[in-house]
Amino acid sequence: MLSNRSAALAVAVSFTVGLVASLALRPNGHSEVSIAQIGEATPTRLHWRVPTTSSSNLPVLGDNTKYISATAAQISDGAVQLEMFEPGELVPALGVSDAVRDGKVPAGYNWLGYDQGKIPASALIAAVPFGMEPWEFSAWWFDAGGRELGEELYKPHNIHPIYCGMTGPETAGWFRDPITELSDVEGLKIRFAGLGGKVIERLGASVTMLPSGEIFQALEKGAIDASEYALPIVDESLGFNRVAKYNYYPGWHQPFTATHLIVNLNVWNSLATVDKHLLTTTCTAAVTRNLARAEALQGKVIAGFPAIGVTAERLPEPLLRELNRVSDDVLEEEADKNESFAKILASQRAFEEEYQHWKRLAYLPRDF
């Protein structure tokens, strides 16, 4: 007869072999096993319908929702199932936070900058013009009080936010005509989101907010002259390059883009500790994987722009400096109007100042 230790080891090996066998990987590293197949092993204890703000067919952005869903199912042996729904399927594309707050859905996957109209400080935990680097935001969130401030901000709205996705800088936008000086922005009809929209509006642009699925049509029909949305590979997949041939950099308005899994606070409080840890751990893994994938795919896309007639350039330095100046003004004005905004902005700036001691000395100076 096997000893207790030997028996336990045999069970563990048997389970591991079975799990590895079931997780046959595709060439791109994604598991082919379905949530339904995994769910045969263990009774389901959580099955959430989760609306998202990014279509699942979008590279990087959609990839991350698939990763979150599959990973939660895999590490729970099918007991936790997050069923992701396309924008607009369950709730309006820009209404995810409202639906979670009101308990219409238990959770949602959301870029919190869309909440700026109702929760001004939400923009600071989504993207900040001329703000932190992606890894710098992670450092602030995990180790310098960012998570606590984010949870405090959303608690009155009956929401628990979990940092669950990260990409690096977006493009500065896709334009029908070249941008060579400040005056080119005046009167420009542009789709823009977050705090960056307030900034470019201050420079004379006419700003509108559209979900991703409506941007191409607006560009094609001339309802807008330009748009920002996401990374080059994402924007190209949405067809922006077919109607706007000038793609500008850097993404001054979103040096980082953080995304969150938001859970109805009553639902969150009712969860078992193990499930809270499972969701948080899944999201932490998703942050790392999302940023890595985002960084890996952009160079090849930009290298292919000449073949499709797209011009990729940096914005003129005088325009960038003016955007920086106006961004500082907008941030100060928003802080003066809202206590939560002021508190989170002060925390971020204090961390950035402290981090500079390391950032300035530790990293190689590079001249590209």
Average pLDDT over residues 326-344: 98
Distance CA 22, CA 16 (A): 10
Structural domains present in the chain? 35-167+256-297 (3.40.190.170), 173-253+312-337 (3.40.190.10)
The answer to whether 208 and 266 have CB atoms below 8 angstroms apart is: no
| pLDDT higher than threshold 80 for residue 7 | no
| pLDDT higher than threshold 50 for residue 6 | no
In whole numbers, what is the pLDDT of the chain averaged over residues? 90
Q: ∠111-114-116 over CA atoms, to 5°?
A: 125
Average pLDDT over residues 276-303: 98
Residue 225 CB contacts under 8 Å (≥ 6 apart), including other chains: 175, 176, 177, 188, 189, 190
Q: What pairing do the DSSP bridges indicate for beta strands 206-208 and 189-191?
A: parallel
Model confidence pLDDT, tens digit, residues 105-120:
999 999 999 999 999 9
Instruction: Give the rounded percent of residues in the chain with a pLDDT score beyond 70.
Output: 88
Q: ∠259-356-317 over CA atoms, to 5°?
A: 75
Average pLDDT over residues 245-274: 98
Give the model's pLDDT for residue 365.
Answer: 86
| pLDDT higher than threshold 70 for residue 259 | yes
Hey, what are 31's tokens?
């598991």
Model confidence pLDDT, tens digit, residues 167-212:
999 999 999 999 999 899 999 999 999 999 999 999 999 999 999 9
